[in-house]
Structure 1
Amino acid sequence: MMTDPAPEPQPTPRSQRTALLVIGVVGVLVLGFAIGVLARFPFDDSGPAAPGEDSVDVGFAQDMSVHHSQAVEMSAAVLSSEDGHVRSLAYDILTTQQHQLGQMQAWLTLWGQPPLPTGAGFMEWMADDSGSHAHGGVQGAAPAADGALDRMPGMASSDEMAQLRQATGPEQDVLFLQLMLRHHEGGLPMMEYGAQHASESVVRSLAQTMVDTQESESVLMRDMLAARGAEPLPMN
């Protein structure tokens, strides 16, 4: 007697949410790239030359791409948090910064520049009040020996990222808030400098948007930490 074939396993709600999230993140990145292309499309060859490799615009786009990439990675680690407030914040940060990352990578492509920094350190495009580089004493810091990009202000170390991925429950929620708050505040000088000194209006506009958004999120994360009886981390 023939038997009916076993029914195929149905996707769980969690797996469906994960799949939809992946599709959404990819869509956000593609959309950001498209917007970046359209915002700087060279309709007129007689227009101003593209920013050079030593410009504020290129340095900002490259270094902030590195900074944003880690924020996206941190946010993805807590998207399954049982805390709805943490989960919502992580989703907002992930989608917003992935979109902005797409815009910055589009500009770098159009300008014929590498997608990531190629020099010995970070933030060398920022000048102090005297006009020299190494603003704030953090420029020129090279990646750590293990390849971790943990020398830029606010960046989490490899060990901290591993701790975040391995933590669970409220412990993970608090660690995420601490790391992301430090991450936001560490990147603020770059955003402010880009908003003031970039030559391209679209770069200045995006940098100012980052300042406004991340300052607001920083206030929120400080409140969320206080509500959970936790303190912010000192700047690294």
Structure 2
Amino acid sequence: MSRTNWAAIAAIVLALLFAGTATVIAAGRDDGRTGPRTPVATSADAGFARDMAVHHQQAVEMSFIVRDSTDDEDVRRLAYDIANTQANQRGMLMGWLDMWGLPKTQADQEPMAWMPMDMQMKPGEAMHQAHDGSLMPGMATNTELERLRAARGKQAEILYLQLMTDHHKGGVMMAQACAKLCVPGTERDLAQGMVTAQQSEIGLMADLLKERGAKPRG
């Protein structure tokens, strides 16, 4: 079985397991009962859920774009796996916000405000600044999305793989932060599962780029 399928299957299995146990979180409301606490709007748990839902939505969008832009089965299969997995995970994240009674958007809070600044960058890098529609690390800009929509065939495959590699790297950084900052439980476990699956897919995308005479950006 290909690395793509293993990564996708692992992520989906984790999603189903977490979805089946997510109702435990609802028992943690501040009503005097024992159990996990309910996150507040400014917590890492809520911030990660909101931000990763937005991050995942763009990955789903890019994956559907490339499926209509190439006939290559390897890239189309990868795109389907990413879209399916991240759409499922996005639904879980939004569902948790509903259970916690928290808004899905926080107008007075910048993306990644739940993360300390030293987690938002690597040594020697400047802190990420939103520009041209890119709200968080790894997210494609509006200009890049337009280029992807216009590309066809091998050009579309290479651009998608490069953009998605950047996207996964940003997602891994955010998931690693949740794995450290979020309350132990299903959300933190999901974040760690994202790290494992997306790092595997980064390796696969590097192989697919090499086959096309290209390499990741940066």
CA distance in 1 between partners of 2:28 and 2:110 (Å): 34
Q: Between Structure 1 and Structure 2, how many residues are aligned?
A: 195
Higher relative contact order (CA 8 A, sep 6+): 2
Report what 1:111 is aligned to. 100
Are the structure 2 counterparts of residues 121 and 186 from structure 1 closer, same or farther at C-alpha, using a change threshold of 3 Å? same
Percent of paired sites with the same residue: 43
Local SS of the residue matching 1:77: helix
Report what 1:73 is aligned to. 61
| TM score, norm. by length of structure 1 | 0.75
2:45 to 53, 57, 68: 57
CA distance in 1 between partners of 2:18 and 2:150 (Å): 32
Report what 2:164 is aligned to. 180
**Structural mapping, 1:213-232, within 5 Å:** 213-232=197-216
Note the C-alpha offset of 1:50: 0.8
1:204 to 185, 188, 191: 188
Greater helix share, 1 or 2? 2
CA distance in 2 between partners of 1:92 and 1:37 (Å): 23
**Structural mapping, 1:1-16, within 5 Å:** none
Note the C-alpha offset of 1:119: 3.1
Larger radius of gyration: 1
Q: Give the aligned CA root-mean-square deviation in angstroms.
A: 2.4
Unpaired runs of 5+ in structure 2? Answer: 1-15
CA distance in 1 between partners of 2:156 and 2:186 (Å): 36
Asked if the contact 2:59–2:86 (Cα under 8 Å) also holds between the matched residues in 1, the reply is: yes
| TM score, norm. by length of structure 2 | 0.81
Unpaired runs of 5+ in structure 1? Answer: 1-30
Asked if the contact 2:26–2:100 (Cα under 8 Å) also holds between the matched residues in 1, the reply is: no
Are the structure 2 counterparts of residues 135 and 94 from structure 1 closer, same or farther at C-alpha, using a change threshold of 3 Å? closer
1:40 to 18, 25, 34: 25
Note the C-alpha offset of 1:108: 0.6
CA distance in 2 between partners of 1:117 and 1:172 (Å): 34
